[in-house]
Amino acid sequence: MLTIEGVTKRFGEAVAVDKVELNIPEGQMVGIIGRSGAGKSTLLRMINRLIDPSEGNILFDGTDITALKGSALRRWNRDCAMIFQQFNLVPRLDVLTNVLLGRLNHKSTFASLAGLYSREERLMAIAMLERLGVVQSALQPAGTLSGGQQQRVAIARAMMQEPRVVLADEPIASLDPMNAKVVMDSLADINKRDGITVVTNLHTLDTARTYCERIIGMFEGRVVFDGTPAELTAAEARRLYGVQNEGFSEAMTSTSLSADEDERPAPMRPLPGNRADTQLAEERARALA
C-alpha cells in the first residue's frame, strides 16, 4: 500500500505538486494523465525520492519513505524501480551489463566494481531479456539500440531490482505505436504476472483507458480526477486538459493502431491552397531527371 499524504513540491515560487492525497493498493495498475507541467513527473520522482517533497509524507506499508537516508534510501530506490522517457541506460555499456546494473543494490560496492555477478544473476538477466524480446542484442552497446528496444532493456533492468513498485515516467512518449504497444504490454504483464504495483504517467488517453484499471487526472499540481476508465468521460477529459469543446478529440493524439486504420484518410496530403512547395519539389525532380 502506497500512501501519499498532503505532498507538495515547490520550485522557487512555482508549485509543481499541490497537496496531493492518494492511496494506491498493492498490485494496482495506475495511469496518471494530465497536461505537460501538471506535476505528473514531479510526483513520480518524489515517490522514488529522486527529488524530495517540500511538504507532506509518502508511506509504503507504514514506513515513511520521505524520512529515509543513506543505505535505507538506496534500498527504497531499489524496491521502487523507475522507467524513464529517455530510458536512462548507460549508452556505452552493453545491454547485458546494463541489465545487470539493476542488481547493484543487492551486492556490495566492492563486488559490483569487480564485476562479480553470480551465474544465477547472469541467467536471470538473460531470462529477463528473453521475456522482453531483446535477447538478440544482449552484447551490443545499449546506445546502438532503437528506442523501443532500449525501453525494454530499461524494463529488464528495473525487473532485475526485484521491485515492489514500478514507476514509469512517460515510458512510451518517444516511441512509435508498435513499440509503444510492446512496452505497455510488458508493463501490464509485469503487473499481472508478478503482481507488482505499476504507476505510469501517460500522454495518450486511450493508452490509459486500455491498460490501466485506475486513472488519476492531474491539473496544475492537484489531483482533479480519480476513477475507472469508464468514469473518464470526454467532458472530464476536456476539463482535465483545460480545452474548450472545439478541436479536441482523443483520436488526434492517439498512437493506437485500430482495425479501421486503412479506411481513414491519409493525414499527410498537400493542402489545396499551398501549391508553392509542391511546384518547387516537382521542378527539382525534373532538374534531377
Partner 1 sequence: MTASSTIRPADATGHRRADGPLVDRWESEIRKRRLYTALTVGLIALLTLASLIFANETNAGKFFDRLPYFFDFFGDLVPRDALEPVRALFDLPSPYDNGSFKYDYPMGRHDFIGTLYIPEYFMAMLETLNIAILSTLIGFTFGFLLCFLASRNLVRNFWLRGTVRRLMELLRAFPEIVIAGFFVAIMSLGPIPAIAAVAIHTIGALGKLFFETVENADMKADEGLRAAGASWVERVRFGIVPQVIPNFMSYTLLRLEINVRASTIIGAVGGGGIGELLRLSISRGHEAKTLAIVFLLFCTIVAVDQFSAWLRRRLIGDQAFAVA
The least CB distance from residue 280 to partner 1, in Å, is 18
Residue 180 burial by CB count (10 A; 0-12/13-18/19+): exposed, middle or buried? Answer: buried
Q: Which residues here bind partner 1, judged by CB under 8 A?
A: 48, 50, 71, 74-79, 81-82, 84, 86-93, 97, 101-102, 104-105, 109, 112-113, 141, 143-144, 154, 157-158, 161
**Residue 223 corresponds to which cell in the numbers above?**
489531483
State the pairing for strand pair 2-11/14-24.
Answer: antiparallel
> Which of 7/142 has CB closer to partner 1?
142
| DSSP letter (8 states) at residue 266 | P
**Residue 284 corresponds to which cell in the numbers above?**
527539382
The least CB distance from residue 101 to partner 1, in Å, is 6
The least CB distance from residue 65 to partner 1, in Å, is 13
The least CB distance from residue 115 to partner 1, in Å, is 10
Phi-psi region of 274 (alpha: psi -120 to 50; beta: other; left: phi over 0): beta
Q: Strands, E, within 187-242: which ranges? A: 197-201, 214-219, 222-227
> Which of 76/211 has CB closer to partner 1?
76
> Which of 104/184 has CB closer to partner 1?
104
